Amino acid sequence: MLVPEEGIKVLSDEQVATLHETAMRICEEIGLDVLHDDARKLLAEAGLKVEEERVYFDRGFLMEQVAKSPARFTLLARDPAKSHEVGGPTPLWMNVGGPPFASDLEGGRRSGSLADHDTLVKLTHAAAVLNCVQTGAVEAMELDVATRHMDMEYSTIRWSDEPYATYGTSGPKARDGIAMAAIVHGGRGAIERAPGLIGIVNSNSPLVWDFKMVDALFAWAEANQAIAVTPFLLAGATAPVSVTGGLAQQVAECLTGVAMAQLVRPGAPCLYGSFFTAIDMRSGAPAFGTPESIYGVLAGGQLARHYGLPYRGGGGLASSNTVDAQAAAETTLMLWATVLSRADVVLHAAGWLEGGLTASFEKFALDVELLEQFATTMRGIGFSEEELAFDALKEVGPGGLYLASEHTMAHFKEWLTMSPLFTTPDFAAWEAMGSPDTRQRAFQRWRDLLASYEDPGVDEAVDQELRAFMDRRKREPVDPED
Amino acid sequence: MLVPEEGIKVLSDEQVATLHETAMRICEEIGLDVLHDDARKLLAEAGLKVEEERVYFDRGFLMEQVAKSPARFTLLARDPAKSHEVGGPTPLWMNVGGPPFASDLEGGRRSGSLADHDTLVKLTHAAAVLNCVQTGAVEAMELDVATRHMDMEYSTIRWSDEPYATYGTSGPKARDGIAMAAIVHGGRGAIERAPGLIGIVNSNSPLVWDFKMVDALFAWAEANQAIAVTPFLLAGATAPVSVTGGLAQQVAECLTGVAMAQLVRPGAPCLYGSFFTAIDMRSGAPAFGTPESIYGVLAGGQLARHYGLPYRGGGGLASSNTVDAQAAAETTLMLWATVLSRADVVLHAAGWLEGGLTASFEKFALDVELLEQFATTMRGIGFSEEELAFDALKEVGPGGLYLASEHTMAHFKEWLTMSPLFTTPDFAAWEAMGSPDTRQRAFQRWRDLLASYEDPGVDEAVDQELRAFMDRRKREPVDPED
């Protein structure tokens, strides 16, 4: 067991208690702005002090609500065999989401398109180590911004039968996603029994819940969908410049979000989400792989468990503009932290580049390789007689060689990692090949992965209903609140 | 605290017991070849069964000897303030050692030289995060192979006043190193009280102790110098193809080495050393960063603590031929494991490339950057009122911005990591700079580091004595056993 079930503890019990106390003081004494009338009404009815847009959440209320959110729940997949126990022994690993740009070695950096989105969904589906798709792998920039959330959601549903995270950046968009999930799973009743999607809500840090996000949160909670409440915290910009202060703020924003969801529908499955790093003060851009971001991932996991919630955190995050040593170092630093935190849900595990502005296909191949290696590492080593190898040691004996031994030949394919991406040709052979670096091999790797993709197909009636729904919604006027 | 004091436990107590039992059976039933007459004589006198070159070590003898080796000891430095408690709270981090090639972006890959060795010693001395020098940072290939160990040792002693690991790959070379350390520290008596160097002994795996290594081990043990007993194990070549079998072999080889040292001089400070990975069966070259190598580092640390010995393990090891994403991923995977293993002594922490064939100056800069980040991460986060930041949160309030706040301005330089190597310019600015990748920035980085080097100077009498010693030894005939 590489990591204990409860993850690595980076905070003492006393430090957790101090963060909790500070967060409660933030909620009670500073309060949060909730820019959603229905939400404020509901919170006032629940007995909270509300002054104009400011809501003061008291700790008794918060902890009572948070306790209603389950520690585990089943997330449905289109292929029932791929439905997943969130909060169970294995995490959900997803592709990147949100970038406006796509990039690959041949096509260069470009505006994202639906074709790129389809490709990223197919790559995610084809990569065995990824078991969940995130809609919005790249923005389909050529499509109408008012309706493209549906085209991307359809791309996710059509090209993969794995569980998925929905797009929903507003109430109406969230409701479209819910309607599509209901079609996939045979009606709203089915997805109300077990969620058919994960929605992500970000508070507008510091300490603001804006209308769109609360509206999406309400939509998902009403439908009993999974909600990852994830403050997007950048120390020095949207959070104090100290990790400690940022964590206290994270607790305040997470728990108030979870509490609102529980108020709408007690038992709605919520996750404690952490997206926490600092900005690079030289550029103002978020920095990943830094000690601050590593602490953000690790402490977030510990806090999630403290509050009895599944944990969304970490990812293959990198700041670098290209798939170079910096990108790999940042990503590996973050993924190690993610694994050590025992995150339950990992967005942006593959393909994230340039601080999330670009979905890179070569980065995707690199990340999948790293995730495969972590998965093998997490499985641990075996202690069978054959693995203890006393007989092999005796047979080969002092001064022998294991290269061609029977024991080696029988087991090397199963027991040794031979990375298709990380290779070790000798220097002269490598020079003769034109000194290819990782990017060039990664280009080949994602193309091989894409070639291995098998279309899971889709039920024809479901497909027609999805298309009919989208056609109808595209003819309707755009919601003015959206 | 990122990592518990006893490191991460990847093996259960039962698994440790199983490895121990298997290792004891290897020592008792298979035995090891000891190709050194004096050693076999000593071992026979201690009551062990010896048949020709094969020695059968029984567990009672082994555990009795191992118990004599201290869990902590002080390693002297030329600057007494830099003397280090090995086995104490902080590890020793060293530069790469052993490569025949040096490489940098401007000079390309070339045969190592004494000038390159001097530069690597200076870089190690200048890098605050490295606190120990390894002689043989690169082989001074232009010098006489019979005597260049002294030139390289002099380079280490002259250009740094930190503790160091000696070159010694044979008895006579080890004795030269001891003589030089004695000169540095004012006589053999001084370094017999506390060791002036660390020697590395590698068994000739599987299960052979060859003459040269045992002879070096004898020399160091007689002089009470520190000895890192480190089997060089490659699963599928010099060890069974299973990690578990390799670990059992590692225990057998380590403990027999430690036992021999204790027989020579009870209490001689020994380390449990792990250099364990698998070969890439496609090329026969060692692969680093793989799950097998990560387990090798982590399990090695747990076994060292089980036997009450300080741990030498891990490093910034990579297989890649160039400083690309593969090199950074492999290195970061290995360094995370090294940190988690709580290694006490880390060789090859900076500059290792191409499976150890090349000392790369750009890789050195990359590794130093990673080590700095790990050091910051390991320090953890503070919980002062200022760091909890409640007042800052109250002042900025919901919807505010921390960018220009007083709290941010007062603390960002101290609390946020701004990597000189990992930068985040926006894409357009980065393109305008010519799209520099990490290698190009690393080239600038090591040159800046070198420019910051300050010569610690050396006592003139010591310097003259060292030179006189080397001159005399270079005139003597080469030892035929060397």
The DSSP code sequence of B269-280 is -EEEEEEEEEE-
Query: Which of B2, B382, B409 is CA-nearest to residue A247?
Result: B382
Q: Is B253 on the interface with A (CB under 8 A)?
A: no
Interface test with A, best of B19, B55, B241 (most A CBs within 10 A): B241
How far apart CA B391 and CA A251 sit, in angstroms, is 17
Contact A326 B437 (CB under 8 A): yes
In angstroms, what separates the C-alpha of B419 from chain A's closest C-alpha? Answer: 8
Angle between helix A361-379 and A114-126 (nearest 10): 20
3-state helix, strand, coil in chain B (%, to 5): 50, 15, 35
3-state secondary structure chain A: CCCCCCCCCCCCHHHHHHHHHHHHHHHHHHCEEECCHHHHHHHHHCCCEEECCEEECCHHHHHHHHCCCCCCEEECCCCHHHCEEECCCCCEEEECCCCCEEEECCCEEEECCHHHHHHHHHHHHHCCCCCEEECCCCCCCCCCCCCHHHHHHHHHHHHCCCCEECCCCCHHHHHHHHHHHHHHHCCHHHHHHCCCCEEEECCECCCEECHHHHHHHHHHHHCCCEEEECCEEEECCCECCCHHHHHHHHHHHHHHHHHHHHHHCCCCCEEEEEEEEEECCCCCCEECCCHHHHHHHHHHHHHHHHCCCCEEECCCCCCCCCCCHHHHHHHHHHHHHHHHHCCCEEEEEECEEHHHCEEEHHHHHHHHHHHHHHHHHHHCCCCCHHHHCHHHHHHHCCCCCCCCCHHHHHHHHHHCCCCCCCCCCCHHHHHHCCCCCHHHHHHHHHHHHHHCCCCCCCCHHHHHHHHHHHHHHHHCCCCCCC
Contact A286 B424 (CB under 8 A): yes
ipTM of this predicted complex?
A: 0.97
For residues B158 and B203, is the Cβ–Cβ distance under 8 A? no
Token pair 């690959």 in the structure block, residue: A104
Residue B81 φ then ψ, to 5°: -65, -15
Closest by Cβ to B417, choosing from A291, A366, A425? A291
Q: Which of residues 134-173 of B touch A (CB under 8 A)?
A: none
In angstroms, what separates the C-alpha of B375 from chain A's closest C-alpha? Answer: 9
Identify the helix (H) or strand (E) that includes residue B199. strand B198-201
Please give the average per-residue pLDDT across B331-335, as a whole number.
98
Q: Which of residues 279-308 of A touch B (CB under 8 A)?
A: 279-287, 289-292, 294-295, 298-299
pLDDT of residue B6: 77
Q: Is A232 on the interface with B (CB under 8 A)?
A: no
* DSSP reduced 3-state for B141: coil
Residues of chain B above pLDDT 70, percent: 99
In angstroms, what separates the C-alpha of B240 from chain A's closest C-alpha? Answer: 6
Q: Is B242 on the interface with A (CB under 8 A)?
A: yes
pLDDT of residue B3: 81
In angstroms, what separates the C-alpha of B348 from chain A's closest C-alpha? Answer: 17
Nearest CA in chain A to B239: A402
Q: Is A32 on the interface with B (CB under 8 A)?
A: yes
Distances (CA, A) of A208 to A239, A263, A309: 12, 18, 22
Nearest CA in chain B to A17: B383
Contacts of B245 in chain A (CB under 8 A): 387-390, 392-393
Amino acid B289 reads: G
Query: Which of A348, A370, A357, A254 is CA-nearest to residue A310?
Result: A254
Residues 6+ apart with CB under 8 A from A212: A169, A170, A171, A481, A482
Torsion sign (Cα): B123, B125, B131, B132: positive
Q: Which of residues 312-341 of B touch A (CB under 8 A)?
A: 319-333, 336
How far apart CA B166 and CA B189 sit, in angstroms, is 18
pLDDT tens-digit readout, B111-161: 999 999 999 999 999 999 999 999 999 999 999 999 999 999 999 999 999
For residues B77 and B163, is the Cβ–Cβ distance under 8 A? yes
pLDDT of residue B283: 87
Contact A248 B331 (CB under 8 A): no
Please list the rounded mean pLDDT of every run of 10 residues in chain A (482 residues). Answer: 79 97 98 98 98 98 98 98 97 98 98 98 98 98 96 98 96 97 98 98 97 98 98 96 97 98 98 95 91 96 98 97 98 96 97 98 98 94 96 96 94 92 91 94 98 98 98 85 62
Interface test with A, best of B2, B242, B373 (most A CBs within 10 A): B242
Interface test with B, best of A22, A234, A295, A415 (most B CBs within 10 A): A415
pLDDT of residue B65: 98
Contacts of A428 in chain B (CB under 8 A): none
For residues A374 and A91, is the Cβ–Cβ distance under 8 A? no
Distances (CA, A) of A277 to A245, A284, A313, A356: 12, 12, 12, 13
Nearest CA in chain A to B415: A242
For residues B273 and B230, is the Cβ–Cβ distance under 8 A? yes
pLDDT of residue B480: 59
pLDDT of residue B482: 65
In angstroms, what separates the C-alpha of B30 from chain A's closest C-alpha? Answer: 6
pLDDT of residue A6: 77
The residues that bridge with A51 in the sheet, in sequence order, are A54
Amino acid A65 reads: Q
How far apart CA A274 and CA A311 sit, in angstroms, is 8
Please give the average per-residue pLDDT across B386-396, as a whole number.
96
Size of interface A-B (CB pairs under 8 A): 396
The tokens describing A477, both together, are 């006027």
Q: Is B111 on the interface with A (CB under 8 A)?
A: no
Mean pLDDT value across chain B: 96
Interface test with B, best of A326, A336, A406 (most B CBs within 10 A): A326
Contact A282 B423 (CB under 8 A): yes
Distance between first and last Cα of chain B: 47
pLDDT tens-digit readout, B78-94: 999 999 999 999 999 99
Amino acid A352 reads: W
**CB-based burial, B408-431: b 16+ in 10 Å, e otherwise:** beebbeebbbbbebbbbbebeebe
Contacts of A319 in chain B (CB under 8 A): 422-424
Closest by Cβ to B324, choosing from A1, A325, A383? A325
The residues that bridge with A227 in the sheet, in sequence order, are A199, A270
Q: Is A416 on the interface with B (CB under 8 A)?
A: yes
Q: Is B128 on the interface with A (CB under 8 A)?
A: no
Q: Is B388 on the interface with A (CB under 8 A)?
A: yes
* DSSP reduced 3-state for B92: strand
